[in-house]
Structure 1
Amino acid sequence: MTDASLTIPIIDSVGDIGARYRAWLVDIWGVMHNGQAAFAQAAAATRAFRESGGVVVLLSNSPRPSPDVQEQLRQFGVPDDAYDATVTSGDLTRHELGKYTGARVFHLGPERDRPIFAGLDVVLAGPEEADLVVCSGLFDDDTETPDDYADMLRTLAARGLPMICANPDHMVERGNRLVYCAGALAAVYETFGGKVVYAGKPHVPVYELALETIAQLSGEAVGRERVLAIGDGVNTDIAGAAALGIDAVFVASALHAPGEGGQALDAPHLNELFAQTVRRPIAAMRGLNW
């Protein structure tokens, strides 16, 4: 366990540290791309690790199933050879929906996330008829905020409908700005007494699925001490890794680091970010680079 009193080193290259591990769990949004374009150095880093014999699983809180996320990665310019597999909140949400055969589901989220329901034995319904809520985000995250959903969420919670949150992130970076995600709506739902199942980081089930994927790719079980998590979310990537006893490298983004590309990242800022963290990241970077 990392001593909370130690200074977190800021490094320019992950090569020396990363090479010690058998597998990497790498966040996508904020590490591999910014929601519009790939970070070329990040793809080069994960490719270099794979070429050295390592396994790279991209672990995302995207509410879309893996095939859709992989196609999006290609569109943004992340090459297929930069990773071995993806595990997403969408994958885990589909697994959770398998427990609700025949249920009437209210989908709270944009139309683009509908592939999450493809082939499943559920019926999409309006909020008044639903037995269950699946929240994948805001209907329009370009213009709306969680405040716009307060009345709806209060009403749904009063009916006692369970919610599956298909993306536990509260905000993500899209280009040069931040937009709200499903996790922000789920947090409001809980304040109204609603019950939420979180299908993604920092919660254990998605990590269990990711570790199973690593074992399949490696042909053997890989101990957690041999896995490195890399991400930009303090409350998702870093917190989730800490809860499982996995070492982590923090990558600065607009989520938590001031200045474009985290350029203002320094020791005092890191100490403030992780002041309450028992297991701190083993290093911090302004961007993933080999």
Structure 2
Amino acid sequence: MIFEFIEKNRDQFSIKRLCLFFGVSRSGFYAWLTRPISLHRQQDEVLKGAIIELHQGYRRAYGAPRVHQALRQQGLPCSRRRVNRLMRTLEIKASTTGLYVWRPGQHAFYSSAGNQLKGSEAPSGCGQQWAGDFTYLKTRTGWLYHAAIIDLFSRKVVGWSFSSRRNSELTKSALRMALLNEMPEQGCLFHSDQGIEYAAHEYRELLEKAGMVRSMSRKGNPLDNAVMESYFHTLKAELVHKRLFDTKVQAVSEIIHYMMFYNSERLHSSLGYQSPEEYEKLSA
């Protein structure tokens, strides 16, 4: 940890001064720089990747205890303390931590939304039902968040956004884009999970101003938003899992290019093997 601090701050202070301050030798510091990555660190990187997949795969709900058990079940033995440390390094935690503490009016907000999508008739045209969600994307320069909105009639991606941070601005940007590009019907249903990114008052105001009706998945039931789950699964299977992006800018560029292909060319079995844009034209 000391050597890592020296390395990060070598441009601000002289190496000699930093080594004297921490009581380490300069030869020891330079030896550390050229030392190969230890087996322990290599295992940490493997565990980090697995932790991210598990955390996302279970709707960002699992904390360290359950992630620890899931890793063991996948044949990745490690201690809970190690999992705690790696999750802190990745800055991820259980979705309930700090997000669902009691606040006046928040319980009423969730209760009033409910799952309006469940049991409703399938949409007969564009702009009647939308769904939104977001996911994590790995790059060599850090993790990137990608939010998307899909029209449930044509399965077309109508809005998207990217950010280095997970917050309501990420989801609001995707919604603003969708509202600029499309003309949803008055009373269009908007379905999402119960994440704080969709529960923010600013997000609620955007939906109400657009004349949309809120709908939220039941807690712990990701299949309530199956279309979004399917889209992110397809995106990762066909593009993301095949490579590691060098930068976040590259990731954004290639994913946008993929979404253009997804909307205009990719054949969907649920649409009779037509692309979303073709399906919309034939249904007009």
Indicate the TM-score class for this superposition, using the shorter chain for normalisation: under 0.3
Of Structure 1 and Structure 2, the greater strand share is in 1
Structure with larger Rg: 2
When normalised by structure 1's length, the TM-score is 0.26
Q: Greater relative contact order (Cα 8 A, min sep 6): structure 1 or 2?
A: 1
Of Structure 1 and Structure 2, the greater helix share is in 2
When normalised by structure 2's length, the TM-score is 0.27
